[in-house]
Structure 1
């Protein structure tokens, strides 16, 4: 039995866990606040730790979140400790929490930590990464190796971008709608991926965004030659976004790891706008994408959308460099090796 702690912020950690566990040879119990799903062998629903106080949450700067006035936090860690004591898992994957990493390893259970982009040189991250038997980075090491991982190169596996859609046959692009505006003249380099008007997909996530309806209205008004589709909090939620991605000419996404990996699987051009996240997580990813010519990157919601989309259409992104194909299996192999007492390179 392997345990897997899934953080409840957004749905990216959950999708990543599901993609990787499909390649593991043993049962997995998910430990999470998120509602139970049937793909795991078992599921321990944890008490919430975000509805009460936050006094002294970072004691001495050594932990990220251990408030003294939050009963949910206490009960959450107690539930994990009780499960570990009762089940004695061979390994626990933590995605992500320094406090859970410290707790589980202190109880004598090896830990694999899922890495995150950005500046992770603070004391809590240093502690968590030092305690980990292995670290899995869900992006290609050929393109990005932050300093905190270079210092621990002997126990890091750069799996590549992990998408739940990797390995699926790509669906055919959806037909054009009759009411959409006509496409402007194109060259071979900027040709749409389908017949009909050029399409842009705004793909939002569940992790929070500063984007509002007025921003979307302004973008639509500035791009009369484009057909906009919106998936996420400003539009309609879709259980499967792959058909939308293969049908669009340009995807507009934040710089979350799952969104980038999904775009890589679909192979579409992208405009990436990093959201504010701790430790400059998304800005780090966006910078890598811009550096290697994989996407058009903006620091904030543009006002010149027509020019931005034209710039994106001129891209010929080599998304195979994000190594989404086989990434989940490589991550699973590293986790399995750590459970067997071997550090995978």
Structure 2
């Protein structure tokens, strides 16, 4: 029997969606096609990955007069007018659905792609994210899916999530991307270490707050990943080091006494998988995604969750609180491999969908009324 064909729409913002798809595809017993934008030429891995399709990006070459109309449709998050890239994007995606006829689509994430998938009569599973997702576009995308996939356990559910969304959700244990190489041996420091992690992007305003934090806590060695030193200012305190971008940050934070990170899903999961005491600071994201996640992490005792960067003078108390966390509580989050759980569910769902499609082609059409 042929393997079912599953398409993965992978959002192009950051690398978290890519890493999540690859972690699932590593275990998925289905033929897979990735559909994405802006990162189609990147290296992709998957057990049965057969193709990567690079769609025109919906944020490139958008005219100003068209961009002003982007949020006029409550059922959609983003629908500018007079944008050739979007016209080509829609045609390319729906054309691929017509030609490939995948048994199942996994949409991570886009309300517009979800609507196009449903309109094209293809069953889909939509990936959920934390945040205040009570707008029409999210609810329509959730309603268009046969089920929802939450890359977090049910204990992480938000109090504001409607019951009908919970009932459609398949909850997963934690998973993270596999280390790409053997961990390096990192020099040990005489003082306990605080590792501060920054992702890609501009953080020009972070140097002064970091110098202040290091001065507040001279008994700690502060190591900053993802940010270079500020050459326009005098050297910071001796217990503060800027390590720049690191391809394998886990080599540095896996033995840290405290890790300070944004409350992004993949960063939090990877740090939690190493059972490190964590301070998760929400960054400004649409739909309060990181603010809601930071609250949940704090509620569950998995991290010190903060809605914004701490005020001056509060770091000694926060570090002490983080070091008192019971990091063994992460054992429940990683009780099973969430990527394997997702792959098992998607394989069975794709097999079911393929069977339904065969029944449709084998059944005689109903007589006209």
TM-score bracket, normalised by the shorter chain, equals: 0.7 to 0.9
Please tell me whether the aligned partners of residues 48 and 73 of structure 1 are also in contact (alpha carbons under 8 angstroms). yes
Aligned position for 1:174: 186
Please tell me whether the aligned partners of residues 130 and 292 of structure 2 are also in contact (alpha carbons under 8 angstroms). yes
**How far did residue 310 of structure 1 move?**
1.9
Question: Which ranges in structure 2 are unaligned for 5 or more consecutive residues?
Answer: 229-242, 354-369
Aligned position for 1:305: 315
Aligned position for 1:251: 259
Structure of higher CA gyration radius: 2
Q: How many residues align?
A: 323
Aligned position for 1:329: 340
Aligned position for 2:362: none
Residues 1-345 of structure 1 aligned to structure 2 (within 5 Å): 1-33=5-37, 34=39, 35-40=41-46, 41=49, 42-51=51-60, 52-53=62-63, 54-148=67-161, 150-165=163-178, 174-177=186-189, 196-206=190-200, 212-234=206-228, 235-302=243-310, 303=312, 304-317=314-327, 318-323=329-334, 325-341=336-352
**How far did residue 233 of structure 1 move?**
4.4
Counterpart-to-counterpart distance in 2, 1:38 and 1:202: 28
Q: Pick closer, same or farther for the CA change 1:99–1:209 going to 2, 3 Å.
A: farther
Aligned position for 1:191: none
Please tell me whether the aligned partners of residues 195 and 256 of structure 2 are also in contact (alpha carbons under 8 angstroms). yes
Q: What secondary structure does 2:352 align onto?
A: coil
Q: What secondary structure does 1:200 align onto?
A: strand
Please tell me whether the aligned partners of residues 2 and 29 of structure 1 are also in contact (alpha carbons under 8 angstroms). yes
Q: What secondary structure does 1:272 align onto?
A: strand
Counterpart-to-counterpart distance in 2, 1:324 and 1:77: 40
Structure with larger RCO (C-alpha < 8 A, sep 6+): 1
**How far did residue 10 of structure 1 move?**
1.4
Counterpart-to-counterpart distance in 1, 2:227 and 2:74: 34
Q: What secondary structure does 1:293 align onto?
A: coil
Aligned position for 1:186: none
Q: Pick closer, same or farther for the CA change 1:83–1:228 going to 2, 3 Å.
A: same
User: How big is each residue's C-alpha offset from its partner over 1:16-51, in whole Å with a ceiling of 9 and x where there is no partner?
Assistant: 111111110122211112143231422111212213
Question: Which ranges in structure 1 are unaligned for 5 or more consecutive residues?
Answer: 178-195
Counterpart-to-counterpart distance in 2, 1:132 and 1:323: 27
Please tell me whether the aligned partners of residues 264 and 324 of structure 1 are also in contact (alpha carbons under 8 angstroms). no
Please tell me whether the aligned partners of residues 173 and 247 of structure 1 are also in contact (alpha carbons under 8 angstroms). no
**How far did residue 334 of structure 1 move?**
2.0
**How far did residue 313 of structure 1 move?**
1.3
**How far did residue 149 of structure 1 move?**
5.6
Aligned position for 1:193: none
Q: What secondary structure does 2:253 align onto?
A: helix
